[in-house]
Amino acid sequence: MTVLNWPEILLRLGVATLAGCAIGLNRDLHGKPIGLKTLGIVGLSTATVVLLAVQFAEAGKITDAASRVIQGILTGIGFLGAGVIVHESDRFRVRGLTSAACTFLAACLGIACGVGQWPIVGTALTLAFLILTVGNRAEHWLHRMLGARDETHETDASPKTRSPDES
């Protein structure tokens, strides 16, 4: 049985919460349907559950029980993500996939914090912010370079933005 001391518990839960909050702040600042509080709680809750499972494992090993906890988290987080994606008021159009993916990432980071895998947490968080900050610009640039239609700037209310052969 692994017994974690208070500073280690605080570190793991704190970093998981901060990682989730940081991703949530990015979503909040971009006006997305999920934000700082929600993803902070996702990171904290997943790290908490994993810490509970790790407490009963041998040092440095993930047991079958811990593995089942992690599987359950990742399955369950899909329901939260689905709530972000589907909006009845929007005629059930698919929107918010990036926010749902961020929800899943916050859960994964919480799991990684729960087992104390700091290099994985740092690397994943760095790559996530790289994607979230440069991703839109890179995507728009690639669309222009490859001649693909960029649907993010079109609306149903403005059919004049389409060329005659796209109608």
Residue-level pLDDT at 61: 64
Q: Which residues pair with 94 in a beta bridge?
A: 86
How many CB atoms lie under 10 A from the CB of residue 71?
Answer: 10
Instruction: Provide the residue ranges of all domains of the chain, joining segments of one domain with +.
Output: 6-149
DSSP H helical ranges for the chain: 6-29, 36-55, 64-85, 97-114, 118-146
**pTM flag (> 0.75):** no
The tally of CA atoms less than 13 A away on the side-chain side of residue 166 is 11
Residue-level pLDDT at 114: 86
Residue-level pLDDT at 148: 65
Per-residue pLDDT of the chain (167 residues; tens, 9 = 90+): 667 788 989 999 999 999 999 998 988 888 877 788 888 888 898 888 888 777 766 666 667 777 788 888 878 787 777 776 776 565 666 677 788 888 888 888 998 898 888 999 999 999 898 988 888 888 788 878 887 665 554 433 434 443 444 43
Residue-level pLDDT at 16: 93
Residue-level pLDDT at 69: 82
DSSP state of 146: H
Contact between 77 and 107 (Cβ < 8 Å): yes
